[in-house]
Structure 1
Amino acid sequence: MEESKLAVPEYLDNAFFQEVLRNYLKRPDGNIDRIELSMGCGSGENFCSVIYRVRVQFSYDKSKCESATWIVKSMPYVGEYEVFEDMQLFKKESETYFKILPELDKFAQTNFGPSCYYVTSTPIDTIVFEDLKLRRLRQIDRFNAIDESHCAIVFSKLAKFHAASMHLAEKNPNIFDNFQIGMYSERNFQAEQNREFFLKKFQMAIKITERTAGYESIAKKMKVLEPTYIQRAWENFDSKKGLLKVLNHGDLWRNNLFFKYESDESNIPTECLFIDYQGCIYSGPGIDINYFLNTSVQIDILKGKRDYLLKECYYQTLRKTLEELSYKKVPTYSDVEADILNYEFFGLFSAIGSSINQLIHELSYAKFLEGLNDEKRFETCINLAPRAEKFRAKLEYVLRRADSLGLLDQ
């Protein structure tokens, strides 16, 4: 095996890729000739994992030489990531790819994610996938909110995903027993470093709101809410009130979506696939819906197209898919609407978190803390953010809506 000049982690050795190749080819006689490894995404773009893109050259059948590109995802639960171990991210993602998705794909007659070629927990939890870019699917800029055409595709696909999971649970009631914890666990919420980070983001939102004309009463409510904000977010996420149960993707935001387009030059999407199934949770569909709406959608779409997306794109697809699967008790739109409302506080938590995360990314965490702790530097720091105007507009809309729903009241 000839390796590239880029350093290959010790565990990603020839034996590892030989195993991947066997699964990829579905035959035992392949041989790895060369490995080229690079980082698969930028720093901070993937939750508690390390992503590599690997191009391999291989030979088989004595003389045939070919190449392939794979995505390798490793999850080292050490240091700051130890708090996530009890969430069983690797176990859930592995089970999703090898046990759940094949069933959902079959029921919905579509493809929900990339092909998975190999999984191992030795020495580090690692999964190997196909590279969706080779299928001419692409991601959008993680800092640009999604427009109506993309949202319509996402909600239609999400409805099929949820419907197929409902059918699977009807056929096998215990199939989702390992999916009771999602991206957030009680330990995750209670961990000191996480509580501090969540709280600082809420405090920054308060400071911005206090300086926004017409939002004085909302800012006061937020100050009163501050001591119980994190606990309320956890209790809402962990809510068992909903009557509907689906397999939620659990981390459905624009960075975990790949889109297919009419052509390489087109911006009109025709299909989407989901990636990163580590946060899947069997709970109400309001988790996925609120999270996506509050982290990924353009403000004008939230204001003017919310009902259209939920009724026409999501619910009508959900109903149609369930009817085609002969599901016994198809929920009404009122049932779905009630579940979405049930998780609205989690939606608020997600909106504030994603908005402030964008601010931190644009300013750096040091400048974020500087603005939070130094009144004189606050406005200067906030206005340094290239997307400051859009950031403020989103926060204002989210908080006004939250207030109208009574989410800020004690």
Structure 2
Amino acid sequence: MECSAKNITNIQDILNEKQLEHILSKVAKPGAKIVGYDLKSASAGLVGFLGDHLRLKLYVKEDLIKEIHLFIKSLPMNNQPKADFITQNSFNKREALLYKIFEEIDDETCDSNPWRPKAYIYTDNILVMPDLGAEGYKSYPSSKYLDKNHVMVTATSIARFHAAFANYETKKTVLENKPYNFFDEYGHVMTEPVFYDTPWLRAAAKLTSNLLKEFSTNSKCYPSDLEERLVDLYIRACDDIKYYEGTLNVLIHKDLWFNNILFRYSGDVATNAVLIDFQCMRFAPPAFDMMLFLHLTTTRSFRERHESEVLRHYYTVFSESLDDDTKRRMVSLNYDLENFLAWCEKARLFGMLLAAAIFPYSLMDPVTAKKTFDDPETFTYLLEVDRSVPVIEHAKESNVYRIKQLELSEEIVEKYLLRR
């Protein structure tokens, strides 16, 4: 077998023989053999920021030759500082844990109308799953904002994800005949690796301040200690997202930007959304996912017009997806629509601040992002010290990149620093 992409590692350096046999057992008839493959990068640019992403096409001989399309995420092969960052902060360990839990979750609609992908291999070093692109799923361009159709379809999948985990916790409680608390068992994995008072966060606040000073027509109205006050806001937002006693906590995705949501269509209408890339998951109230999703993917005017409807739709789907035992648990927690909406307001600061921190990466076109943020020589400096120069330079060249970041940054200052 020969790899068709000359600059990509051979398949034997990605997957061992036992792993390949395991994949075959999931996708082919007994006795099937791999007779060839094509392995290539998933994109010329960055598909995601926490790993290398590859597409693998296996040619498998059963009665005839058939093609198996796979998507692989592995530790970076050419950026050791990034690989160390991923390992030290347990990003892959989190995702592997979640896929283990997914296998325990009984979701009868997952195959026909999935809200998540399957995974054939999931370890601390590698994730192998079907290539959803080959099944017709598409990502939405980050240069645009989601319209109402895409928002509602995604809210449905987020609600089903949260409900599936709520049902899972309830079933564990019934099986063990005592209250089950996921955080008690896996809290050591769920600790926040990045979004607390870290150099990464302070660099995010520095960039927000510098963007506003460079581009905002309102900058003269802003406090002279803008960066310091933004640091305080970022830390406040960090302190808000955590496990809370006495209310509903679920596994939340916490990274629902455009590349982590894939859509299936009927004509031009989005009919289903699949959530991918769970490396940043946390255990916290569900509202934190919804508020981050809305601030990452929609305009301020969209939220002003439609946020209430979207949140109510989410809550309806969530409630309808609960089993009877979990519905009773929600009553005991006083978790109803009013309570959920109150949590959304509490989660708003986090949604806005984390979106502002992610935007410089997620809004940049993939090829430029790879050149900017995936260089081993500058990776740590841009991550932990200051990423203002390349971001501001790109914002001068790209109106979309500048306007999206500026709109959210100005809204943050207006809502949390200027209003009294």
Does residue 278 of structure 2 align to residue 271 of structure 1? no
Call closer, same or farther: CA 1:59–1:302 in 2, change over 3 Å. same
Offset at residue 23 of structure 1 (A)? 2.8
Does residue 50 of structure 2 align to residue 48 of structure 1? yes
Does residue 220 of structure 2 align to residue 202 of structure 1? no
Aligned-residue RMSD, C-alpha: 3.5
Q: Deviations over 1:317-353 (max 9, x none)?
A: 1222236665212421121122222222212212322
Contact 1:112–1:274 (8 Å) recurs in 2? yes
2:414 aligned to 400, 404, 409, which one?
400
Offset at residue 280 of structure 1 (A)? 2.1
Q: Secondary structure in 2 aligned to 1:327?
A: helix
Does residue 217 of structure 2 align to residue 212 of structure 1? yes
- Residue in 2 that maps onto 1:225: 229
- Residue in 2 that maps onto 1:114: 117
Offset at residue 310 of structure 1 (A)? 0.7
Offset at residue 19 of structure 1 (A)? 2.2
- Residue in 2 that maps onto 1:185: 193
> Once structures 1 and 2 are overlaid, which stretch shifts more, 171-180 or 134-143?
171-180
Higher relative contact order (CA 8 A, sep 6+): 2
TM-score (norm 1): 0.81
- Residue in 1 that maps onto 2:398: 385
Q: For residues 323 and 347 of structure 2, what CA distance do their matches in structure 1 show?
A: 26
- Residue in 2 that maps onto 1:95: 97
- Residue in 2 that maps onto 1:246: 250
Stretches of structure 1 lacking an aligned partner (at least 5 in a row): none
- Residue in 2 that maps onto 1:141: 141
Q: Deviations over 1:10-32 (max 9, x none)?
A: 51267266324433336552221
Offset at residue 107 of structure 1 (A)? 8.0
Q: For residues 281 and 161 of structure 2, what CA distance do their matches in structure 1 show?
A: 12
Call closer, same or farther: CA 1:240–1:84 in 2, change over 3 Å. farther
Contact 1:38–1:52 (8 Å) recurs in 2? yes
For 1:185, give the aligned amino acid.
P
Call closer, same or farther: CA 1:222–1:319 in 2, change over 3 Å. farther
Contact 2:263–2:271 (8 Å) recurs in 1? yes
Q: For residues 107 and 359 of structure 1, what CA distance do their matches in structure 2 show?
A: 33
For 2:314, give the aligned amino acid.
Y
For 1:342, give the aligned amino acid.
K
Runs of 4+ in structure 1 over 6 Å off: 368-371
How many residue pairs get aligned? The number is: 388
Identity of aligned residues (%): 18
1:259 aligned to 263, 281, 284, which one?
263
Aligned 1:157-172 pairs, distance under 5 A: 157-172=157-172
> Once structures 1 and 2 are overlaid, which stretch shifts more, 20-29 or 48-57?
20-29
Q: Deviations over 1:26-73 (max 9, x none)?
A: 65522211111111134333132111101111213xx53221111111
Contact 1:115–1:129 (8 Å) recurs in 2? yes
For 2:319, give the aligned amino acid.
R
TM-score (norm 2): 0.79
- Residue in 2 that maps onto 1:126: 126
Q: Secondary structure in 2 aligned to 1:305?
A: helix
Q: For residues 247 and 97 of structure 2, what CA distance do their matches in structure 1 show?
A: 25
- Residue in 1 that maps onto 2:316: 316
Q: Deviations over 1:174-231 (max 9, x none)?
A: 4563266559426x64554x2453233222244147x423x65455573451453443
Offset at residue 101 of structure 1 (A)? 5.2
Contact 2:256–2:293 (8 Å) recurs in 1? yes
